[in-house]
Structure 1
Amino acid sequence: MLFCDFDGPIVDVSERYYRTYRLGLSALQTIYQTQHGKDLPIEPLTKKQFWQMKQTRVPDAEIAARSGLPDDAIEPFLQQVAQLVNHPHLLRWDTLQLDAAQAIQQIKQSGVRLVLVTLRQPEQVQAFLEAHSLSQHVDQIFGASDARAAHLNRVEQKVALLQQAIAAQQALGFATHNAWMVGDTEADVIAGQRAGIQTVALTCGIRSQARLTQLNPTKLTATLLQSVQLVLTGRVLQVA
């Protein structure tokens, strides 16, 4: 049994998040010009700078400040980002992570049940999987009803969602004692640890290796494919 997050392990959201950040700055600049008749002293970060800050969990308010926004403009900027990040014209910038399709296909071929546990809305997840011909390889999706949940990434919400997913699998007659939780954030690792299952933290997502190492996951890998190969190897050894 493999429980897996969606954003990070399967989907690269870095371009969407960066474009949201830039659009948020542009929107705020327009508002500020209208209200005050002058420009904000904005200095946008490069995508590399922005993503490194996200990976090391620099608060969004600090990212805004480092982009040149004055204190009174930071909260309006954060509100703009929250409103924009899940807009359909930005969701199209989500891309499939390298080797993610191969990883999902390997899971299916090995007879391991794949359950996605994500703070994204299930319909968004389903649409992405269908667009990449992967929906038939996923057994079940547990998601959030709030479109803002994934961006906020609340730990307790992920903990509750994984517990719900595990209970549902057990009710269907599936064993979960050897299950794994795979994800790229503290929410995923903590959720797996609290559920008493093994965890794999991925460094291809929105948290750095140094940050993830502090969480003491069972294993640490770079990609979903590496995680799947690790889990499947352990499964073969257990069967043998």
Structure 2
Amino acid sequence: MSATTIFCDFDGPIADVSERYYATYRQGLEWVQAQAQLQGTEVAIRYLSKAQFWTFKQNRVPDRQIAHWSGLEAGHIDAFLTQVSCIVNHATLLDRDRVQPQARAGLELLRQCGVRVVLVTLRPPDQVMQFLNQHDLHWAISDLYGMPRVDAAYTNQASHKVERLRAAIATQRRQGYDLRHAWMVGDTEADIMAGQTLGIDTVAVTCGIRSSSYLQSFRPTHLLPDLWTACQKLQQRTILARQRG
């Protein structure tokens, strides 16, 4: 089958998770403060603004350091990190995820060009499908490879992404799809490393949880602002390939 296929991360290129992560951060701090008050002590919380918090996340500042800058010390930091891990994928917080601006337009462009989109994510598949159905984007996805562990997307281990992408590539090839011109599109170093490990071009988008300067250090094939821009570049390449063929 000659249809072009791209492998794409979910959080970052398609889903904007910044509001959920910030709400998780604030709720984690509120929980620590409440627990301290129950024990008869006080914690002087300093809430970072969303812009400050997201800049730190994009530049890979450790969560422990973010907690320290927010007024926590020692055991309170450990309690905060545990609480954040427990609540980040709770249904009430997942509802804060939104579609990235122009992601829908990019996916529509790919459909017009006959490009297949295969999601490779560390989110559980049912969670992803719920979001796609809720935002009427189910039509844009040809296949989906996710993770059973609900906390994997937050920890974002590169080894997990390599494993998922390897499985996706193997299955797509068995189904007869031509992957000679495939891309891996994502917003983290895990996406870039997975594509590089498995020998496909990588597109790092800077609209997600990593900054442009941080992503550039991993030398992706392309560094672009968002999925829409990536889709435009892919459209141009597809048109040129068809003209040559």
Q: TM-score, normalised on structure 1?
A: 0.98
Residues 1-240 of structure 1 aligned to structure 2 (within 5 Å): 1-35=5-39, 37-240=40-243
Q: Give per-residue Cα distances to partners, 1:182-209, cap 9 Å, x unaligned.
A: 0000000110111100010000000000
Q: CA deviation at 1:136?
A: 1.5
2:178 and 2:145 map into 1 onto residues whose CA distance is: 18
Moved >6 Å (runs of 4+): none
Aligned mates of 2:82, 2:162 — CA distance in 1 = 26
The SS at the match of 2:118 is strand
Q: Distance in 2 between matches of 1:72 and 1:144?
A: 31
Distance apart, 1:38 and its partner CA? 2.1
**Structure 2 residue matching 1:28: 3-state secondary structure:** helix
TM superposition shift of 1:231: 1.3
Task: For residues 145-203 of structure 1, give each alpha carbon's deviation from its aligned partner in whole angstroms, at most 9, with x where no partner exists.
Answer: 00000000000000110010000100100011210000000000110111100010000
Q: Please state how far the C-alpha of 1:33 moved relative to its aligned partner.
A: 1.1
Instruction: In structure 2, list runs of 5 or more residues that go unmatched.
Output: none
Alpha-carbon shift at residue 239 of structure 1 (Å): 2.1
Q: Give the aligned CA root-mean-square deviation in angstroms.
A: 0.7
Q: Distance in 2 between matches of 1:236 and 1:109?
A: 12
Q: Deviations over 1:16-66 (max 9, x none)?
A: 00000000000111111112x121021111111100000000000010011
Q: Could you tell me how far 1:141 is from its partner in structure 2?
A: 0.7
How many angstroms apart in 1 are the aligned matches of 2:226 and 2:160? 24
Could you say what secondary structure the match of 1:178 adopts? coil
Give the whole-Å Cα distance in 2 for the aligned partners of 1:127 and 1:52: 28
Question: Which whole-Å deviations, capped at 9, do the CAs of 1:71-124 have from their partners, x for residues lacking one?
Answer: 121111000000010000000000010001111111112111110000011111
Distance 2:202 2:239 in 1: 18
How far apart in 1 are the matches of 2:50 and 2:116? Answer: 36
- Paired amino acid for 2:7: F
Structure 1 unaligned segments of length 5 or more: list them: none
**Counterpart residue identity of residue 149, structure 2:** D
Matched residues in 2 for 1:76 and 1:133: separation?
A: 38
In structure 2, what is the Cα distance between the partners aligned to 1:196 and 1:229? Answer: 22
What percentage of residue pairs aligned between the two structures are identical?
48
Deviation of residue 226 (structure 1)?
Answer: 0.3
Offset at residue 228 of structure 1 (A): 0.8
2:62 & 2:239 partners in 1: Cα distance?
A: 42
